[in-house]
């Protein structure tokens, strides 16, 4: 995201929180499904792969074989190419077909998209990266990057018409294909959000023509990277406060997102789950007395309950005391909240040496609405800036016990979000509902006394 000036994680991780005064930068990864008429694809093939033929009639076995190798549950939904060599990224590099050996797309749809994007000012210098090249480009300057996203599934036949009813009629659907793409922004200053929104609007508009279009489906997301202009890691105190906020408010923040972006074990795995109670003797948990119906009589009785997550004070101890005492604070923090890339918030890049040491917010659903994307960037920046204020001892997290009020409205107010942003997310919460979000009942479980345990054995 930011220009790779310096990546000394040891130095930056021990920096004073006073450096939190520096301006934040952000970068955006937009995942989408690019649809195009076969004439656009054929024009590219005629120029670059004149012997290749478009193959549309793939059976289920062929589609399964041409899926991306690293995503076993994926099904390849796009067309294939005959007489075009192999694709090293798929489960089988090529498969047999009546028209000969066929392979999945490599970067052919990307070139179709690039031709459209480069007519815009923001797209003139766009960098096309083919994932088959393996090594990620070190292009963290003013250029956008266009690439394929291997986790995305393109549109099925009926989905094409639903996504583009004005362009694709039933008799035309066989002449249109689609493919998952990703647009990666250059770094922007936190004060240039309106510029980023305008750039996104221009690029997405360029993809909308009578013979092309852009949409999203449930496999798509919007990822936001937050960092510093230098590319260095944020101060450790800021990261500690941010992690505490994320663990405490994870379920509340999930209410901002649709059901398919909640409770996932792939790509957007919970950071909070790593602090779940383990059932150990003398484990540090929070306790509360709650009114519940008696199992035998049905009468409401007061019963002692324990939290299904570690006590808030224990979470604080782990994130602050243990991290501070560690010879490698960043590595210890990653161990606690998850060091894999596919987390709700990804901390894996904090100690990389070949790119900016950013944190990545991954939960947002795919979107082609520049304003909605801007609201999410605003939220992510607000959360990091709140952690920076706490690191500078300007306030602190008010949740000291799981029985305390944990509310997304209170969090957004403390973040200082504009009323427009708060109202937008208020509407989102009303639409998405609370399914898949941990509620009061899931946070507490009754503490069974010895008599209760004996009765269960009977």
Claim to verify: residue 64 and residue 189 sit in the same structural domain: yes
Claim to verify: residue 53 and residue 192 sit in the same structural domain: yes
Q: Specify whether the CB–CB gap between 383 and 268 falls below 8 A.
A: no
Claim to verify: residue 216 and residue 298 sit in the same structural domain: no
In this predicted structure, the answer to whether residue 273 has a pLDDT above a threshold of 70 is yes
Residue 99 neighbours by CB distance under 10 Å: 14
Domain that includes residue 400, residue range: 9-24+229-443
Give a yes or no: residue 453 inside a domain: no
Claim to verify: residue 125 and residue 150 sit in the same structural domain: yes
- Would you state the pLDDT for residue 451? 57
Claim to verify: residue 207 and residue 265 sit in the same structural domain: no
In this predicted structure, the answer to whether residue 449 has a pLDDT above a threshold of 80 is no
| Residue whose token pair is 């689609």 | 178
In this predicted structure, the answer to whether residue 13 has a pLDDT above a threshold of 60 is no
Claim to verify: residue 77 and residue 13 sit in the same structural domain: no
Q: Which of 167, 195, 227 is the last residue of a domain?
A: 227
Claim to verify: residue 326 and residue 215 sit in the same structural domain: no
Give a yes or no: residue 450 inside a domain: no
Q: Specify whether the CB–CB gap between 294 and 301 falls below 8 A.
A: yes
Claim to verify: residue 66 and residue 206 sit in the same structural domain: yes
Query: What is the total count of domains within the chain?
Result: 2
In this predicted structure, the answer to whether residue 3 has a pLDDT above a threshold of 70 is no
Q: Which of 169, 200, 227 is the last residue of a domain?
A: 227
The percentage of residues in the chain with a pLDDT greater than 70, rounded to a whole number, is 92
Q: Specify whether the CB–CB gap between 323 and 336 falls below 8 A.
A: yes
pLDDT for 290-307, tens place per residue? 988 887 888 899 999 999
Give a yes or no: residue 379 inside a domain: yes
Claim to verify: residue 287 and residue 379 sit in the same structural domain: yes
Three-state DSSP state, 275: helix
Residue 91 neighbours by CB distance under 10 Å: 18
Residue 225 neighbours by CB distance under 10 Å: 25
In this predicted structure, the answer to whether residue 453 has a pLDDT above a threshold of 60 is no
Give a yes or no: residue 454 inside a domain: no
Q: Which of 177, 196, 227 is the last residue of a domain?
A: 227
Give a yes or no: residue 458 inside a domain: no
Give a yes or no: residue 323 inside a domain: yes
pLDDT grade for 12, boundaries at 50, 70 and 90 = very low
Burial readout 69-89 (b: 16 or more C-beta within 10 A, e: otherwise): eebeebebbbbbbbebeebeb
Claim to verify: residue 283 and residue 425 sit in the same structural domain: yes
């Amino acid at each position: 995201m930011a220009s790779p000036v310096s990546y000394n994680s040891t130095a930056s991780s021990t920096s004073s929180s006073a450096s939190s005064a520096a301006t934040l930068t952000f970068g955006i990864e937009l995942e989408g499904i690019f649809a195009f008429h076969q004439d656009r694809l054929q024009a590219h093939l005629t120029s670059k792969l004149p012997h290749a033929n478009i193959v549309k009639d793939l059976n289920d076995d062929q589609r399964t074989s041409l899926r991306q190798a690293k995503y076993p549950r994926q099904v390849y939904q796009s067309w294939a190419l005959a007489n075009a060599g192999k694709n090293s990224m798929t489960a089988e590099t090529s498969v047999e077909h009546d028209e000969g050996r066929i392979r999945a797309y490599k970067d052919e749809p990307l070139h179709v998209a690039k031709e459209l994007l480069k007519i815009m000012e923001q797209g003139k210098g766009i960098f096309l990266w083919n994932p088959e090249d393996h090594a990620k480009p070190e292009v963290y300057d003013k250029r956008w990057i266009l690439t394929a996203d291997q986790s995305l599934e393109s549109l099925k036949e009926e989905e094409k018409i639903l996504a583009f009813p004005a362009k694709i009629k039933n008799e035309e659907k066989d002449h249109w294909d689609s493919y998952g793409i990703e647009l990666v922004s250059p770094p922007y200053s936190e004060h240039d959000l309106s510029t980023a929104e305008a750039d996104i609007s221009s690029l997405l508009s360029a993809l909308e023509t009578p013979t092309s279009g852009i949409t999203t489906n449930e496999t798509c997301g919007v990822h936001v990277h937050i960092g510093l202009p230098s590319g260095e890691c944020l101060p450790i105190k800021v990261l500690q406060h941010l992690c505490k906020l994320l663990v405490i408010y994870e379920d509340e923040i999930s209410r901002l997102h649709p059901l398919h972006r909640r409770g996932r074990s792939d790509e957007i795995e919970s950071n909070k789950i790593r602090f779940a109670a383990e059932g150990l003797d003398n484990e540090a948990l929070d306790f509360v007395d709650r009114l519940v119906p008696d199992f035998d009589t049905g009468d409401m009785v007061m019963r002692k309950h324990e939290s299904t997550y570690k006590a808030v004070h224990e979470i604080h101890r782990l994130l602050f005391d243990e991290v501070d005492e560690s010879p490698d604070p960043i590595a210890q923090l990653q161990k606690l909240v998850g060091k894999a890339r596919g987390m709700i918030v990804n901390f894996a890049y904090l100690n990389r040496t070949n790119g900016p040491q950013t944190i990545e917010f991954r939960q947002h659903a795919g979107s082609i609405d520049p304003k909605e994307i801007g609201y999410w960037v605003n939220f992510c920046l607000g959360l990091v800036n709140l952690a920076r204020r706490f690191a500078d001892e300007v306030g602190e997290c008010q949740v000291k016990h799981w029985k305390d009020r944990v509310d997304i409205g209170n969090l957004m107010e403390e973040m200082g979000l504009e009323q427009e942003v708060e109202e937008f997310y208020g509407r989102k919460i009303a639409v998405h509902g609370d399914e898949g979000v941990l509620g009061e009942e899931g946070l507490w479980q009754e503490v069974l006394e010895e008599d209760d345990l004996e009765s269960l054995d009977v």
